[in-house]
Structure 1
Amino acid sequence: MTVHRYVAFDLPGVTTALGMASLLGAAAVHLYLLGTETGLPGYLTAYFVVLSAGWIFAAVMMALGRFADRGWLLAGLVSAVFLVGYVLSRLTGLPGLPAVKYRWDFTPGTVALLCAALFLAVWVSVLLGINVAHPRKRDWHD
């Protein structure tokens, strides 16, 4: 795919900020659910904590610059795990929470889904060379 030869953006700070904002948004939704929902099964609480910690840690790695590539990779893996888990939970239900089956209208879940999907879209654009992420710079050759 040669998209990068026709369309490219040189806004590494904006690209990284957008990626970090989407990660922190997804983490905030899960932390909100942990603080407001009572009676969540223990495995789901642990899952939310691990997801949130992974997203926050990845955002910090992306901000520091030295380990930015690893931060993008970690965030991509955590976001992909969340997307797959969310879709599977809505198709099959969850042990101890049968009410979530086919509940695509749960607002916090939809917001977290959109944040994770936005991050993955930004990450793919970086991998394809359409965008550049901090601390990298694009060397323009006109």
Structure 2
Amino acid sequence: MGKPRIRPIALGLIKHQGHVFVSKGYDTIKDQAFYRFLGGGIDFGETSIDALKREFQEEIQAELTNIEYLTCLDNIFICGGKPGHELIQLFRCDFVESCFYRLDHAYPLIEGKETKEAIWISIDQVRSGQLNLVPQNCHPYI
């Protein structure tokens, strides 16, 4: 096994009526649910905006608009007992299709061979600590 690598990713922050659009994950070691903005890895030769658009298309078949660069975040973490390090290119954006703005709806999210859910969560519940939005250093942008 080679030495650990830093993974460059692009994530999209989408806000609507006091909520943010996220995927739900679960850390079995910590026995804890967590939420994260949608997006994923930036491929070699691909811009971070192109990666963001491609990931939303692959994961939930959604097109993005009003894409605006926010910041780059370091995310050093342990998930499932394994250390990770991501450099996150964070963008604020909107959906083109209004059907994605249903707050009470769960959207099937395809990640490789897995199907998860993309949902809207309350920003107030994130700020109160009720819901665990990761990484913590993205909280000032919501």
What TM-score, normalized by structure 1, do the two folds share? 0.26
More strand by share: 2
Higher relative CO (Cα under 8 Å, sequence separation at least 6) belongs to: 1
Greater radius of gyration (CA): 1
What TM-score, normalized by structure 2, do the two folds share? 0.26
More helix by share: 1
